[in-house]
Amino acid sequence: MFGKRMTPAERLRKNQRMLDKAIRELDQIRVKLEKQEKTLVGQIKQSAQKGQMGACKIQAKDLVRTRRYIEKFYSMRSQLQKISLRLQTYRTNEQMMQAMKGATQALGSMNRTMNLPALQRIAMEFERENDVMEQRQEMMDDAIDDAMDVGAEEESEEVVEQVLEEIGVDLNSALGETPSAVQSAAVEEKRVAQAIGGDGGMGGGGGGGADDDLQARLDSLRR
């Protein structure tokens, strides 16, 4: 009477525990009755084999009574299980209501403390700083691309010089001549060799082949 008053949730938990205990006890009794049923079936068979019909009838009545109690315990357990599930549903609804209540209070507190102008200012500052960062990133990318292009151009020039040195041609004089000029010089050298005669024909043919090879290399380098 003077004890602490139980909350609805506590009463639900207490009743739930009581129902679970009752269901366990019913299951224990039902298991015992099922074992007794098997024993009675065996006794009836033994009495019938011995011809004890009076004992068979008495044991048959016990078997019928036992089976009825088993069915009754199944029905009682079903009813208790139904009540237990209903209480569990009530408990779940109560917990959901308390959770929604807490969430509503938290949302209300956040809405009261939220400063919309400050939030808008923060969003604008973030957008501005993000734009600055993107611009700086673009500048860095352009600088890196330019540096890479300069390095590539210098490297390509070094390769051209190396190739021309290998074939014995000066870079400035080679790049200053056009393909037509180089070809005209080669033709003129061939005509002079033919005019001289002798082994010059063979030498002229060889010179023309070297000039053609040089012209092909220069064309490929200019591409």
Q: Of 17-26, 101-110, 202-211, which range is least confident?
A: 202-211
Length of the chain: 223
Nearest to 175 by CA among 132, 214, 117: 214
Per-residue pLDDT reduced to its tens digit, 117-168: 888 888 899 999 999 999 988 888 887 777 666 555 666 667 667 766 766 6
pLDDT at 21: 92
Three-class secondary structure of residue 197 per DSSP:
coil
Nearest to 79 by CA among 138, 125, 19, 141: 19
Q: Is 155 exposed, middle or buried, given 0-12, 13-18 or 19+ CB atoms closer than 10 A?
A: exposed
Q: Is the dihedral of CA 178, 184, 187, 189 positive or negative?
A: negative
How far apart are the C-alpha atoms of 135 and 141, rounded to whole Å?
Answer: 10
pLDDT at 200: 44
pLDDT at 7: 80
Q: Of 18-22, 40-44, 181-185, which range is least confident?
A: 181-185
- Global pTM? 0.43
pLDDT at 75: 92
Nearest to 44 by CA among 71, 62, 31: 62
pLDDT at 34: 93
Choose between 17 and 142: higher pLDDT: 17
Question: Average pLDDT, stretch 69-85?
Answer: 91
Q: The tokens of 70 are what?
A: 């088993």
pLDDT at 194: 54
Nearest to 26 by CA among 69, 57, 88, 87: 69
Question: Average pLDDT, stretch 99-123?
Answer: 86
